[in-house]
């Protein structure tokens, strides 16, 4: 508290902050802070008495007319007092004179500073200032933080980080093993299905020919003048006219089903390459189509898939892992659109038009920068979108907004790793999706600026800032899209090597 020149300085410690459980996002205001303030016009002996009473005080905050002036640490105060004639010079003089003589430099940080950041800034100080306490500003008031307590807190967070990293590593290894096992199982099942499917598909043409021959033979018998009554009875019993009309349709439907089953098997085989350790040159459109075939059942629920495929070259990649990325993103879009259609789970701010139709749009193109080429895959939906707070954490491991049992928080985190680490690419997320006529996507701004950025790094923040500026300009000149500003867009950039 602030004391006047005539009153004794008061001391209060905030012990409840010391017992609070720390996390990776903990800030200085969660630590044990000391409140020892005194007017700079007070004599030095008042501070000496208080330091004598409480050995834990790291220093004193000086004020002038209840306004912050500076700080003198316990160490610096005792150092000046131990000098020759120090007691005579400063005990009966104002603290202001001691402060001006000592020329104390100190570190002042806002209370919402992360503990990890504060520890880093503290250790960057000159050696003679490493043990100096830190002044913490809390909504206009000031407290003192012992640097040793800061380092203890930082060590606790370091232990917590190590523990979380170990857990994430174990979980990712387990997930990788599960996916590898799943890939092998899918490959075996696809192989077992493929043989009979190939048999059916290959013989369907012969069966169609044979049936046509038999139908021609029956037609020839029909032209014979002397037909027995027995044949007429059989003809009526088997409904020959209907049979001759329906049999070609039946054979054609079998051919179509066999072809579809062949595509499904092909999709399963592409998806089974999850544990591949060598790049393969593949057609990304085939990977996307295989994913859509596997997800055909949930897509039947009234969701329209719009494909805007560009002219893509063959890409050297891990096709099975990219198929997993496509499946994760499209599955999330399906879930979001399903919730939007459900009245019980409808987004409170999502008010689509009466003729709203759930859509997933997939766009591919080649993007050229000054010194490189990229393949761009955009997967977007017209659902309720993602809140800004969630977007910041969407690629974090174990982060999920789905109920227990429906989401592990690994899908998008693994997708991000596959794109950025395994393929050297970039993964952007945008919600609401692009709704201004001339508002460029992250890939376009990336190409224009050749920003070298990670998914959520500082390069992307620069891109986002330019996007916001462009959208503001578009809005100012009346170039907004007439559609509601909803939806989510994931944009994948893969380098062409």
pLDDT in tens, 225-283: 777 778 778 888 888 888 888 888 888 888 888 877 877 777 676 666 555 667 889 89
pLDDT recorded at residue 1: 36
Q: How is domain 11-145 classified at the architecture level of CATH?
A: Roll (3.10)
CA atoms of 244 and 246, how far apart (whole Å): 6
6 vs 185, which has greater pLDDT?
Answer: 185
- CA-to-CA separations, 92 to 11, 87, 119, 176, 477, in angstroms, rounded: 21, 8, 36, 71, 69
Q: Which of 26-30, 198-202, 227-231 has the highest mean pLDDT?
A: 26-30
CA atoms of 405 and 258, how far apart (whole Å): 35
CA atoms of 139 and 111, how far apart (whole Å): 8
Q: State yes or no: pLDDT of 337 exceeds 80.
A: yes
Q: State yes or no: pLDDT of 62 exceeds 70.
A: yes
Q: Determine which of 176-180, 263-267, 316-320 has the lowest per-residue pLDDT on average.
A: 176-180
Q: Which residue has the tokens 């897509």?
A: 299
Q: What tokens appear for 362 in the block?
A: 């997939």
Q: Which of 46-50, 54-58, 77-81, 170-174 has the highest mean pLDDT?
A: 54-58
Give the H or E element holding residue 32: none
DSSP state, residue 27:
B
pLDDT recorded at residue 314: 93
DSSP state, residue 31:
S
Q: Are 9 and 46 in contact (CB under 8 A)?
A: yes
pLDDT tier, 377 (very low <50, low <70, confident <90, very high otherwise): very high
Segment 310-325 mean pLDDT: 89
* 225 CB burial (10 A radius; 0-12, 13-18, 19+): exposed
pLDDT recorded at residue 95: 74
Q: State yes or no: pLDDT of 411 exceeds 50.
A: yes
- CA-to-CA separations, 186 to 178, 194, 324, in angstroms, rounded: 12, 12, 13
| Cβ atoms within 10 Å, residue 471 | 19
Segment 284-301 mean pLDDT: 84
Q: What tokens appear for 15 in the block?
A: 């012990």
Region for 25 from its dihedrals, namely left if φ exceeds 0, alpha if ψ lies in -120 to 50, beta otherwise: alpha
Q: State yes or no: pLDDT of 80 exceeds 80.
A: no
Give the H or E element holding residue 262: helix 240-271
Pairing verdict, β 304-308 and 280-282: unpaired
Radius of gyration, alpha carbons of the chain: 36
pLDDT recorded at residue 13: 44
Average pLDDT across the chain, whole number: 76
CATH no. for 277-495:
3.30.565.10
Considering only CA atoms, which of 475, 482, 448 is closest in space to residue 462?
Answer: 448
Q: State yes or no: pLDDT of 9 exceeds 60.
A: no
pLDDT recorded at residue 10: 44
pLDDT recorded at residue 4: 35
pLDDT recorded at residue 401: 60
User: Does pTM surpass 0.95?
Assistant: no
SS3 helix, strand, coil % of the chain, rounded to 5?
50, 15, 35
pLDDT recorded at residue 349: 58
pLDDT recorded at residue 340: 74
497 vs 246, which has greater pLDDT?
Answer: 246
pLDDT tier, 47 (very low <50, low <70, confident <90, very high otherwise): confident
């Amino acid at each position: 508290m602030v004391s006047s020149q005539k009153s004794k300085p008061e001391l209060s410690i905030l012990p409840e902050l010391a017992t609070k459980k720390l996390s990776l996002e903990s800030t200085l205001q969660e630590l044990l802070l000391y409140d020892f303030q005194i007017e700079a016009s007070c004599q030095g002996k008042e501070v000496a008495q208080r330091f004598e009473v409480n050995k834990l005080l790291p220093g004193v905050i000086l004020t002038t007319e209840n306004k912050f002036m500076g700080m003198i640490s316990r160490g610096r105060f005792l150092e000046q007092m131990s000098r020759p004639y120090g007691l005579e010079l400063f005990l009966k003089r104002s603290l202001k004179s001691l402060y001006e003589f000592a020329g104390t430099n100190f570190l002042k940080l806002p209370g919402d500073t992360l503990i990890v950041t504060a520890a880093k800034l503290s250790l960057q100080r000159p050696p003679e200032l490493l043990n100096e306490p830190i002044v913490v500003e809390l909504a206009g008031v000031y407290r003192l933080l012992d640097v040793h307590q800061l380092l203890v807190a930082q060590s606790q967070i370091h232990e917590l980080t190590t523990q979380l990293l170990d857990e994430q590593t174990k979980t990712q290894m387990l997930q990788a093993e599960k996916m590898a096992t799943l890939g092998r199982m899918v490959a075996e099942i696809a192989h077992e299905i493929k043989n009979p499917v190939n048999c059916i598909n290959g013989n369907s043409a012969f069966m169609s020919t044979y049936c046509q021959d038999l139908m021609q033979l029956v037609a020839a018998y029909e032209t014979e003048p002397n037909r027995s009554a027995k044949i007429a009875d059989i003809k009526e019993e088997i409904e020959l006219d209907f049979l001759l009309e329906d049999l070609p349709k039946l054979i054609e439907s079998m051919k179509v089903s066999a072809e579809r089953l062949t595509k499904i098997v092909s999709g399963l085989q592409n998806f089974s390459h999850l544990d591949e350790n060598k790049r393969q040159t593949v057609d990304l459109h085939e990977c996307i189509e295989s994913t859509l075939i596997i997800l055909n059942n949930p897509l039947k629920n009234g969701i329209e898939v719009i494909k805007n495929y560009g002219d893509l070259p063959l890409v050297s990649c891990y096709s099975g892992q990219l198929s997993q990325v496509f499946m994760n993103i499209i599955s999330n879009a399906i879930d979001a659109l399903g919730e939007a259609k459900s009245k019980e789970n409808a987004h409170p701010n999502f008010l689509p038009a009466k003729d709203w139709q759930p859509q997933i749009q997939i766009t591919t193109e080649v993007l050229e920068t000054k010194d490189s080429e990229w393949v761009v895959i955009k997967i977007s939906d017209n659902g309720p979108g993602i809140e800004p707070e969630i977007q910041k954490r969407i690629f974090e491991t174990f982060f999920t907004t789905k109920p227990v049992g429906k989401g592990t928080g690994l899908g998008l985190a693994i997708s991000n790793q596959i794109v950025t680490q395994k393929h050297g690419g970039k993964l952007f997320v945008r919600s609401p999706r692009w709704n201004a006529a001339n508002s460029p996507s992250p890939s376009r701004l990336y190409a224009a600026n050749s920003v070298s950025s990670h998914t959520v790094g500082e390069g992307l923040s620069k891109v986002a800032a330019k996007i916001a500026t462009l959208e503001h300009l578009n809005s100012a000149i009346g170039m907004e899209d007439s559609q509601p500003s909803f939806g989510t867009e994931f944009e994948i950039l893969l380098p062409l090597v």
